[in-house]
Structure 1
Amino acid sequence: MKKIFKYLVIVIALGGVAFATYFFIQSNSKTVEVFETEKPFKATIQKKSVATGKVVPEQEVEIKPQLSGIVDKLYVKEGEVIKTGDLIAKIKVVPNEASLISAQGRVKNAEIVLRNAQIDFDRNKTLFEKGIIADQAFNTAEFNHSQAIQSLQNAKNDLKIIKEGTAGGGATNTLIRATVPGTILEIPVEEGDQVIESNNFNDGTTIATIADLTKMIFEGKVDEAEVGKLTIGMPLVISLAAVNDKEFDAKLKFVAPKGTEESGTVQFTIEGDVYLDEGFFIRAGYSANASMIIDSRDSVLSIQEVLLQFDKETGDPFVEVETGVQVFERKDLKLGLSDGINVEILSGVTAEDKIKVWNKTEPIKRESQYSND
């Protein structure tokens, strides 16, 4: 029994030695990880800000009628290019009943006054020719007669304007013409629609909107954190969603003095003149992005941001610099401007230091969807 127990202990001991030997061999057979290094380099770093907005005409003119009525005829369509004075629409006058009755009454009163003035004038003329009355009495009767004729004519003109929109002596108000050259952007009315005249108490109905599409501006908004870095006249680069692989130069011309709160942040409106190319037709209202350089550093010592590491406790940036073959030492850094890819190094490393690439990723190997049977 003792011999069996003795042999069992020996077997267990030999098994332990064999396992320890195998574990030692496997542990020492692992491939040693070799880290690559990169040196700092000189680079120009630019910090850009992007404002979202749209491209619109510099000026849009709304054409409104000078009298109320119904759109009788439209002579243009949206998208047409017109000149100043071109006919846009014709308005059919629908007179106001109260104004019409009042004008008709003024005509009748003027006719009555004229009849009385005519009788008085004829009587005084006969007496004057016989030498019965003086020159002054005849001149007064003649003046009253002429004044009555003019009053009747004025009353008839007023009545005609109310009924037809014109007295016939000049340009009719029923014909709506373009006041500026440009492109018809919008015609919000149709034939048969009722329109209201523009006056001191009402803006009136818009017949058409005209704009010059060769003079466009960018309208967008920037965050309050960046508005202080903008200066009038600074260059912008405009990219349009509707125009691929093309950017347009622009120049900032306006920054709003007051911001508006949107979704918890304060936004400021900006405007910039856009320099268009003749080969591209830009429509009003295209969505656009404007990129602007708000800070820049030329030829400064830089590294890629992916080389940075951050202290878990303090959050301070650092890198590992090679001091021997695959031997690295931590170097704390002071950073400057960053563009999201490269970052400026103010202190901590030199141009000759070799920085450890600590987070290099291997390309992902994708297995085929189909396996061989």
Structure 2
Amino acid sequence: MRSSITIIFYAALLFVATSCGQNQQAAQQAPPPALVTVTKAVKKSVTGTDEYPSTVVPLNEVEIRPQISGYITNIYVKDGQQVKRGQKLYEIDRSKYAASLQQTKALVQSAEANLARIEKDYERYKRLDEEDAIAKQTLDAAHTEVLNAQAQLTSAKAQMESASTDYSYSVLTAPFDGTVGISQVRLGAQVSPGQPLLNTLSSNDPMAVNFVINEKEIPRFNKLLRAENNPDSLFRIKFSDGSIYPINGTFTTIDRAVGRQSGTINLRVNFPNPDAELIAGMTVNLMVLNQDIGEQVVIPYKSVSEQMGEYFVYIVGAEETVTQKVVELGTVFGNQVVVRSGLQGGETIVVEGIQKLREGAKITTGGAPQQ
């Protein structure tokens, strides 16, 4: 009996010793609390914008090319000059075309005189025919001569019209108000129909800004295009040096179709350009107001992590443990970002030391929370 009690006693001691060893081992294996820096999700008054790379383009632009052959005899504008509609730009040697026009005018006059004479003869023959004083064959021949004379006059007028057109093409004028570029030819240059390019004329005011959006954004911009009451500052321009164009734009156009390969669509905003600050071909950023307007939850951007296309932050909870929280991000302001959903404001979140964390991990903070 005594030996049985002794065995039970030693077994109990062995069990206790084993349990203590396991507990000590587990305690040694548990990671220490991660040292992190935290901050508060706060609410701030913001005005959020989205930026789109854009290109400034003129509403009207045309290449000035010759339509007749000859030599450049006059250049009426300077490089980069602003011109008015109908103003002379270039002149091609007119002497040949002036002579051709005079010749065709003379042909028309001759054809008109010939037709008038034949018509008089025809009228006289008709009166004689009424008195049976001439043969029918003579009257028919006179009628045929009238028709031939009319055809000759029509042909002469067509030649005169063609010569007049060529003569008018010898002086190239501006089809609209705008600015010419640097002339591509000099006095004495020989030109032919379509060649070479003489200059390019672009309209100045207003100017258009073209940009591209993903097809997912089309519903948003459709609403903006149809809305009657939009903020005055909905569309602004930011230049490459960071300065802001002082005049707001007007949203005018969504292209007819989405690109099959790109999945994008072109849009256009018009801007007044009274001081010619916008120049065709400029690359700018178009700033468009978004939904992040007024009181919004704002956090440091570096507190956000991404996994599988989702964004999340670590929220500090009870007993200094952290919980992952999925958030929807909005506008980025410097080193801060708007949180559109997922946070209410006031939560304590981890800013630094995120890479050491996992769901439910213990933390310890280093220093005062960041603001």
Count of residues in Structure 1 that have an aligned counterpart in Structure 2: 289
The answer on 1:272 being equivalent to 2:269 is yes
Q: Where do residues 130-141 of structure 1 align in structure 2 (5 Å cutoff)?
A: none
Query: What SS does the aligned partner of 1:43 have?
Result: strand
Match of 1:180 in 2: 176
Deviations 1:306-355 (A, max 9, x none): 334679x99783424265xxx6122342423332432427456762x444
Could you tell me whether the CA contact under 8 Å between 2:72 and 2:90 is conserved in 1? yes
The answer on 1:250 being equivalent to 2:244 is no
Could you tell me whether the CA contact under 8 Å between 1:158 and 1:167 is conserved in 2? no
Distance across 1 between alignment mates of 2:218 and 2:309: 31
Match of 1:216 in 2: 207
Q: Where do residues 299-310 of structure 1 align in structure 2 (5 Å cutoff)?
A: 299-308=295-304
Distance across 2 between alignment mates of 1:149 and 1:175: 33
Distance across 2 between alignment mates of 1:296 and 1:347: 15
Match of 1:338 in 2: 330
Deviations 1:266-311 (A, max 9, x none): 2211111123363x63322111221223432532344334334679
Match of 2:280 in 1: 284
Could you tell me whether the CA contact under 8 Å between 1:318 and 1:330 is conserved in 2? no
From 344, 353, 364, the equivalent of 1:359 is: 353
* TM-score (normalised: structure 2): 0.57
Taking only aligned residues, the RMSD between alpha carbons, in angstroms, comes to 5.2
Q: Kindly tell me: are residues 247 and 359 of structure 1, through their superposed partners in 2, closer, same or farther at Cα, counting changes over 3 Å?
A: farther
Distance across 1 between alignment mates of 2:50 and 2:352: 30
Could you tell me whether the CA contact under 8 Å between 2:42 and 2:297 is conserved in 1? yes
Distance across 1 between alignment mates of 2:323 and 2:154: 99
Q: Kindly tell me: are residues 83 and 35 of structure 1, through their superposed partners in 2, closer, same or farther at Cα, counting changes over 3 Å?
A: closer
Match of 2:192 in 1: 195
Q: Which ranges in structure 1 are unaligned for 5 or more consecutive residues?
A: 1-31, 198-203, 363-373
Q: Kindly tell me: are residues 172 and 331 of structure 1, through their superposed partners in 2, closer, same or farther at Cα, counting changes over 3 Å?
A: closer
- TM-aligned CA deviation for residue 260 of structure 1: 2.6
Match of 1:6 in 2: none
The answer on 1:328 being equivalent to 2:320 is yes
- TM-aligned CA deviation for residue 210 of structure 1: 2.6
Q: Kindly tell me: are residues 54 and 193 of structure 1, through their superposed partners in 2, closer, same or farther at Cα, counting changes over 3 Å?
A: farther
- TM-aligned CA deviation for residue 255 of structure 1: 1.5
* Greater share of helix: 2
Match of 2:90 in 1: 89
Distance across 1 between alignment mates of 2:327 and 2:83: 58
Q: Where do residues 16-55 of structure 1 align in structure 2 (5 Å cutoff)?
A: 36-44=37-45, 48-55=49-56
- TM-aligned CA deviation for residue 55 of structure 1: 0.8
Deviations 1:101-134 (A, max 9, x none): xx99x96xx79x959x69x97xx9xxx9xxxx89
- TM-aligned CA deviation for residue 67 of structure 1: 4.5
Query: What SS does the aligned partner of 2:320 have?
Result: strand
Could you tell me whether the CA contact under 8 Å between 1:46 and 1:338 is conserved in 2? no
Distance across 1 between alignment mates of 2:309 and 2:44: 28
* TM-score (normalised: structure 1): 0.57
Query: What SS does the aligned partner of 2:89 have?
Result: strand
Larger relative CO (CA 8 A, sep 6+): 1 or 2?
Answer: 2
Identity %: 15
Could you tell me whether the CA contact under 8 Å between 1:81 and 1:183 is conserved in 2? yes
One-letter amino acid matched to 1:306:
K
Deviations 1:1-50 (A, max 9, x none): xxxxxxxxxxxxxxxxxxxxxxxxxxxxxxx9975542221135666433
From 291, 294, 301, the equivalent of 1:298 is: 294
